Amino acid sequence: MIKFQNVSKTYNGNVKAVKDVSFNIEAGEFVILIGPSGCGKTSLLRMVNQLETITEGDIVLNGKSVRDFNKIEMRRKMGYVIQSNGLFPNMTIEDNVMIVPNLLGWDKVKKRQRYQYLMDLIGLNPDEYKKRYPHQLSGGQQQRIGVARALAADPPIMLMDEPFGALDPIIRTRLQDEFLQIQREVQKTILFVSHDIDEAVKMGDKIALMRHGELIQYDTPANILLHPRHEFVSEFVGEDRVLKSMSLYTVKDLLESITLDTNVSSTQQTVHEQTTLRNALSVLLSTNSQKIKVVDIEERPIGTLTIDQIEQFLQLKAGQKGA
Amino acid sequence: MTIPSIALLGIMIPILSTIGQGIGFLPAFIALVLYSQLPIIRNTYAGINNLDPNIRDAANGIGMSTWQRLLKVEIPNAMPLIMAGIRTATVLNIGIGAIAAFIGAGGLGVLINQGISRTNSTMVIVGAISVSILAIVVDTILKMIQNKLTPIKVNQHKEVSS
């Protein structure tokens, strides 16, 4: 759907912000652009909707170069969310959310329905917030409105530049979860800039890791964590990369390849099968017992899990390429 | 604005005399227009220039044209500063308007002018107070218009919770 073909960006004739980056994004994929400050991730994002010009190479959207589109019309078909939400202080929440439909000249009924739908989607009361102004909202609420505004005209593509970067950790985690929920419903193609590897692993279908304007590795989170292709990748994801990779799997995933001991006793600590392995390990480490009980959604016991079995599973995953 | 108003009025006498309008309403009018330019244009420029770059970026990013950005985002957000410029210009012009009485443009300045030449201090005070009241009243009216145009109160309390 979006093809980056040898994209380069040079500022002022000599500062190379992006160097020869090529990769493809499929429809419906959630791709995270990540890297240290100044790695060119934001420049790359801004070249997609032509807020920055492409110096060399091309970005192709459904077979057509972004340079050949009418900029204004193209941007209205791409949701755009930025870190500092960029809400218009002079407009009410309703006007902010409905700005793109207004530009596109939607009729009143359609706009009203869309507003109701979007506010429900982001979990804010449509009538309560309708006439309020952005400064009357908390940072988390403003950012939700920013997301709703980007989704307003139902664009197939979303460009998000560190949308949750300025929020405190608790609100950030909540918004990440909410956004994953929203994505499950709306199924957009998303290009998402982040500098937080935990966020990338949690949110992305694919991660594009950049440094000094170059694309170092473009891969699934599991492969980035377990099969770093470059020293910089392992350095960037950190020494706890195995621990991080455990958030990618649930106990249920483990059950597919490892059989548990079905001999359960009622006194053991319990985890649900949807628990991530990381949390399951944490529970294991915090109990005196060597084993924890695994139960399914209806609280029926499945078996007991040990640290050794988790280790076995991770070795199995590290062994297979392209997990 | 750096030229003293009395000097500007003086300079215009020989220039406008060529069309027979050296003194009276026309030179006063031209002077007032010239003096109102600086505060209005400077404040409008500053207001638009000081807009948070993220907001401009968002306006571009969601697909506004330059005109839409100017009319829907930049001017409304610069409104407090634009109005402040208009208020400054208006009050300034009321003061200069009084001086224009010296070139025969009439108005409340006439009272001050005649009061000085007749050493009638009551007349001077009446003229001066009238000019002041006019300035205060007009400024207050403009402030009310400004409040109507800008529904956002900058210092309003932020409501807490997410």
What letter would DSSP give residue A229?
A: S
Whether this prediction's pTM lies above 0.90 is answered by: no
Query: Does B64 contact A72 at a Cβ distance shorter than 8 Å?
Result: yes
Please give the backbone phi and psi of residue B157, each rounded to the nearest 5 degrees, phi first: -70, 140
Decide: A158 and A78 in contact? Cβ < 8 Å. yes
Please say whether the beta carbons of A13 and A214 come within 8 A: no
Confidence of residue A207 (pLDDT cuts 50, 70, 90): very high
pLDDT at A14 over 70: yes
Query: What is the Cα A256 distance to its own chain's centre?
Result: 26
On whether any CB of chain A is under 8 Å from the CB of B82, the answer is: no
The closest CB to that of B63, out of A73, A136, A171, belongs to A73
pLDDT class for B154, splitting at 50, 70, 90?
Answer: very low
Q: Do A139 and B76 touch (CB under 8 A)?
A: no
Which pLDDT does position A66 carry in this prediction? 93
Cα–Cα distance measured from residue B85 to residue A91, given in angstroms and rounded to the nearest whole number? 23
Confidence band (pLDDT; 50, 70, 90) for A35?
very high
Structure tokens at B147: 């409040």
The reply to whether residue A138 touches residue B58, judged by beta carbons under 8 angstroms, is no
pLDDT of res. A312? 86
Q: What's the CA gap between B85 and B95, in Å, rounded?
A: 16
How sure is the predictor about A55, in pLDDT bands with cuts at 50, 70 and 90?
very high
Among the residue ranges A35-39, A125-129, B146-150, the one predicted with the least confidence is B146-150
Which two structure tokens, joined as six digits, stand for A40? 């060119």
Distance CA A79, CA A93 (A): 17
Whole-number Å distance between alpha carbons of A293 and A290: 10
pLDDT at A155 over 90: yes
Check if the beta carbon of residue B89 is closer than 8 Å to that of residue B34: no
The partner residue sitting opposite A82, judged by closest CB among B57, B73, B76, is B57
Q: Which residue in chain B has the smallest CA separation from A52?
A: B61
> Stretch A34-38: mean pLDDT, rounded?
91
Tell me the C-alpha distance between A124 and A117, whole Å: 10
User: In the prediction, which pLDDT does A70 show?
Assistant: 94
Does the pLDDT of residue B162 top 80, yes or no? no
Inter-chain touch B162–A174, beta carbons under 8 Å: yes
Residue A299 has pLDDT above 80, yes or no: yes
Distance CA(A268)–CA(A262), nearest Å, equals 13
Shortest distance between the Cα of A119 and any Cα of chain B, in A, equals 14
Residue-wise pLDDT for B71-92, tens only, equals 999 999 998 899 999 999 999 8
Instruction: List all residues 6 or more positions away from A277 whose beta carbon is below 8 Å from its beta carbon.
Output: A246, A247, A249, A250, A251, A253, A254, A310, A313, A314
Nearest Cβ partner for B158 among A88, A136, A174: A136
Instruction: Sketch out chain A's domains with CATH numbers.
Output: 2-239 (3.40.50.300), 249-319 (3.10.580.10)
Of the ranges A78-87, A161-170, B152-161, which one carries the lowest mean pLDDT score?
A: B152-161
Cβ count near A269 (within 10 Å)? 13
Q: Chain B residue closest to A50 (CA)? A: B61
Note whether ipTM > 0.90 here. Answer: no
Q: Which pLDDT does position A321 carry in this prediction?
A: 55
Beta bridge partners of A15: A11
Residue in A with minimal Cα distance to B75: A90
Task: Evaluate if residue B156 carries a pLDDT over 60.
Answer: no
For β-strands A206-211 and A214-219, DSSP reports them as: antiparallel
Task: Judge whether A30 and A192 are in contact, CB under 8 Å.
Answer: yes
Helix H or strand E segment including B110: helix B109-117
Decide: A246 and A278 in contact? Cβ < 8 Å: yes
